[in-house]
Chains A and B, each alone.
Chain A
Amino acid sequence: ETGVTQTPRHLVMGMTNKKSLKCEQHLGHNAMYWYKQSAKKPLELMFVYNFKEQTENNSVPSRFSPECPNSSHLFLHLHTLQPEDSALYLCASSQEGGATGANVLTFGAGSRLTVL
């Protein structure tokens, strides 16, 4: 275990459903991230929270809505998704999300999302 736990590991949803992905870290980190991983494409940074404040929204469609109630928990709320949103969604954390340069990310195992 890496210290970053994601649930559920697999999710199948219809285009009209509402679901949420959950991420929890037990590392005492202050920054949390959502990445999208699609086959044979670079990882896409979606959102960054640093000390519970959102510091990055990488032009993500509004059908993805993040929530960070505290430094240990991060959610990704999903609503009216499209089939092309099917991917592996990775959560990561780091000591902090500022300009440290040496920021090493610790990743969860991911949530495999399939949109029908």
Chain B
Amino acid sequence: AQSVAQPEDQVNVAEGNPLTVKCTYSVSGNPYLFWYVQYPNRGLQFLLKYITGDNLVKGSYGFEAEFNKSQTSFHLKKPSALVSDSALYFCAVSRGDYKLSFGAGTTVTVRA
């Protein structure tokens, strides 16, 4: 079985401060890891993915994520958060097939 844990329901940061959204995963074999973002009244949008190679992955809107195999983590980061980054963020994992397992999501609020 594969699963994702997002330990924080909510993350609050001030605009301009660094933003980190945590994700740990459990999967047999090599993980394929993804981050998606959901804005109000919208579906999920793809941000970035890790398949293999460099542990630091860069994605859309200035986001990046670091794959850490020993800690089975894939935390999402942004050096300087914007108010427009306020949204619901989902981490997901697969074993390389179509079955993506998502976490419960983390609500990010960036205050001006």
Contacts and interface: CB of A to CB of B under 8 A. Distances in A.
Interface of A: 2, 4, 6, 31, 33, 40-43, 45, 48, 50, 55-56, 90, 92, 94, 97-110
B5 to A, nearest CB: 9
Given A92-B43, A108-B43, 7 more contacts: A42-B103, A45-B101, A48-B99, A97-B98, A107-B36, A109-B43, A110-B43
Interface of B: 4, 9, 32, 34, 36, 41-46, 49, 51, 90, 94, 96-105
Contacts of B103: 42
Q: Which of A6, A33, A43 neighbours the largest number of chain B CB atoms within 10 Å of its CB?
A: A43
Given A98-B97, A101-B32, A102-B51, A42 B102 contact: yes
B104 A105 contact: no
A2 B43 contact: yes
B100 A103 contact: yes
A109 B98 contact: no
B23 to A, nearest CB: 12
Contact of A109 (B34, B41, B97, B99): B41
B98 A56 contact: yes
B48 to A, nearest CB: 10
A33 to B, nearest CB: 8
A89 to B, nearest CB: 11
B107 to A, nearest CB: 9
A40 B100 contact: no
Contacts of A101: 32, 51, 94, 96-97
